């Protein structure tokens, strides 16, 4: 049996919040893994593993992750750790489009913690400012695209930029080039339990 927790069970037992007899029953070997956000080099390997297993489980082929989705996966903070990544990839396979999850990742990014700067290290003001501007641009473009039902010509007009400039900015921001409308049969949405 393999058990996982994000709590320190020694402290939980001492505080009386976890049964000592159960702790000794399950604690044959302890592995401490840092959170996924601290292991960015593992994210793509794990995501590709979940891609393969989800395709097999649902009998549904899925494209490999695009460069823009890869950037989003690597940039995401993963507060839900491995389970969040697994569920996200599973949703990608079931719904059949990157747009089904890129919007979610970008939305979460909008609500992420504000920029923190260490005063003990050199601050590259131009780099920080450029990144802040790109992040704000990405959020604005995403909202305008959603408000215009992903009609890029109307979005470009609303933003008062050329259509070509919008396409460039969409690529630069790592947004999907267009929203796909994939219908998923209800039979493919059920999830196996166990």
- pLDDT tens, residue by residue, 143-187: 888 888 889 999 999 989 999 999 988 888 777 776 644 333 344
Whether residues 129 and 156 fall in one domain:
yes
**Pick from 111, 188, 39, 182: nearest CA to 47:** 39
Q: Confidence class of residue 117 from pLDDT cuts 50, 70 and 90?
A: low
- Whether pLDDT at 112 is above 80: no
Whether residues 168 and 100 fall in one domain:
no
- Whether pLDDT at 92 is above 80: yes
Whether residues 62 and 83 fall in one domain:
yes
Alpha helices in the chain (DSSP H): 9-14, 20-26, 40-58, 67-75, 81-95, 99-110, 125-147, 152-159, 163-173
For residue 4, the model assigns a pLDDT of 80
Percent of the chain at pLDDT above 90?
27
Whether residues 47 and 26 fall in one domain:
no
What is the residue range of 12's domain?
1-32
Whether residues 4 and 59 fall in one domain:
no
Least confident of 73-82, 107-116, 130-139, 153-162: 107-116
Whether residues 52 and 22 fall in one domain:
no
Whether residues 8 and 40 fall in one domain:
no
For residue 182, the model assigns a pLDDT of 38
Segment 20-44 mean pLDDT: 88
Residue 131 lies in a domain: yes
For residue 126, the model assigns a pLDDT of 82
Question: What pTM, to 2 d.p., does this model score?
Answer: 0.54
Q: Confidence class of residue 90 from pLDDT cuts 50, 70 and 90?
A: very high
- Whether pLDDT at 129 is above 90: no
- Tell me the pLDDT of the chain averaged across its residues: 81
Residue 170 lies in a domain: yes
Whether residues 76 and 138 fall in one domain:
no
Whether residues 57 and 82 fall in one domain:
yes
- Whether pLDDT at 135 is above 90: no
The per-residue pLDDT for range 44-75, each reduced to its tens digit, is 999 999 999 999 998 989 999 988 889 889 88
For residue 55, the model assigns a pLDDT of 94
Q: Could you tell me the CATH number of the domain that includes residue 59?
A: 1.10.8.60
Q: Confidence class of residue 40 from pLDDT cuts 50, 70 and 90?
A: confident
Whether residues 11 and 55 fall in one domain:
no
Whether residues 49 and 77 fall in one domain:
yes
**Domains of the chain: total:** 3
Q: CA angle, 63 as apex, 78 and 79 as ends, to 5°?
A: 5
* Beta-carbon contacts of residue 115 (< 8 Å; ≥ 6 apart): 128, 132
Whether residues 43 and 105 fall in one domain:
yes
Q: Could you tell me the CATH number of the domain that includes residue 166?
A: 1.10.10
* HEC-encoded secondary structure of 22-77: HHHHHCCCCCCCCCHHHCHHHHHHHHHHHHHHHHHHHCCCCCCCCHHHHHHHHHCC
């Amino acid at each position: 049996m393999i058990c996982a927790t994000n709590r320190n069970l020694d402290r939980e037992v001492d505080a009386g919040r976890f049964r000592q007899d159960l702790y000794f029953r399950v604690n044959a070997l302890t592995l401490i893994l840092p959170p996924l956000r601290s292991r960015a080099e593992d994210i793509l390997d794990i995501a590709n593993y979940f891609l393969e297993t989800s395709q097999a489980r649902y009998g549904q082929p899925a494209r490999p992750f695009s460069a823009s989705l890869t950037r989003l996966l690597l940039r995401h903070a993963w507060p839900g750790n491995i389970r969040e990544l697994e569920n996200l990839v599973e949703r990608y396979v079931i719904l059949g489009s990157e747009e089904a999850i890129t919007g979610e990742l970008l939305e979460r990014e909008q609500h992420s913690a504000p920029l923190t700067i260490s005063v003990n290290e050199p601050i590259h003001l131009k780099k920080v400012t450029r990144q802040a501007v790109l992040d704000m641009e990405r959020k604005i473009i995403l909202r305008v695209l959603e408000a215009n039902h992903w009609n890029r010509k109307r979005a470009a007009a609303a933003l008062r930029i050329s259509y070509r400039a919008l396409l460039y900015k969409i690529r630069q921001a790592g947004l999907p080039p267009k929203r796909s409308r994939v219908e998923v049969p209800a039979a493919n949405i059920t999830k196996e339990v166990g």
